[in-house]
Amino acid sequence: MDIAALIVDPAAWAALVTLIVMEVVLGIDNLIFISILTNKLPEHQQQKARRIGIGLALVMRILLLSMIFVIVSLTTPVFDLGIQGAVGPTGEPSFETAFSWRDLILIAGGLFLLWKATKEIHHTIDPVPTDHAVLDKKQVATMNFGSAIFQIILLDMVFSVDSILTAVGMTDEIAIMFVAVIVTVIVMLIAADPLANFIKRNPTVVMLALGFLLMIGAVLIADGFGVHVPKGYIYAAMAFSAMVEVLNMASRRRAAKREGGDAA
């Protein structure tokens, strides 16, 4: 279908809106990781790192879309260990070990997320000051900035593959996929700074976000082994946890105001 026909086709617009919503929801995972990672950089580098990270996410998604047939082939099994779980009510095994490149990418990304989130949780609970007397501040900042960008690239790759395969499953029109991806990344770019600042102002949110990353990492690994957890369950759990944290924050602020009023 050509562009002019797509513009006047209500079904194409419905597919575009649905895909944008799906891509934005999927992009939340990526954005949380970028926000937590860049908040550890020096103040003057944080916004730059976020923009580079999100820009790289756009570049990766467009490159993957330009190689759409290669991406679709990533779901073809490359080897099989011959192990699978009991057949469920839908006729599918509860898990399987016929791994495709997509599965291997998801498993590697999930393991990386588990490692990174666990490391950050340990650092948050038991921060140990380090002595950088040997390196000057400029060297340390440069090393940290490069490390942050490298880790963002790794996760961008995982989330980009998942994002594009989701798009392929929802529409056959490349033009719709391109528009949805570009709009999604623009939304991420707009939301990145407010989200990062919100996390920075509310330290307890950091632990919640790290918990989200742990859950997402576990889900990616499960998906790689053929255990498909419905995304709706994951995001419903995240939304419920976020709502509880918002109520806790409101309670703490009210308590602080009450104490301030009593002191006055």
Q: What is the pTM of this model?
A: 0.68
Cα distances from 130 to residues 38, 133, 135, 143, 163, in angstroms, run 19, 9, 11, 15, 38
Quick check: 57 and 181 in contact, CB under 8 A?
Answer: no
Q: Which of 68, 51, 107 is nearest to 220 (CA)?
A: 107
Check whether 146 has a pLDDT greater than 70: yes
Cβ-proximal residues to 11 (8 Å cutoff; 6+ apart), any chain? none
Quick: pLDDT tens for 228-241: 777 777 778 888 88
**HSE, side-chain direction, 13 A CA sphere, residue 78:** 10
Q: How far apart are CA 124 and CA 219, in angstroms?
A: 23
- Find the range with the poorest average confidence among 36-45, 98-107, 135-144, 164-173: 135-144
Cβ-proximal residues to 154 (8 Å cutoff; 6+ apart), any chain? 109, 112
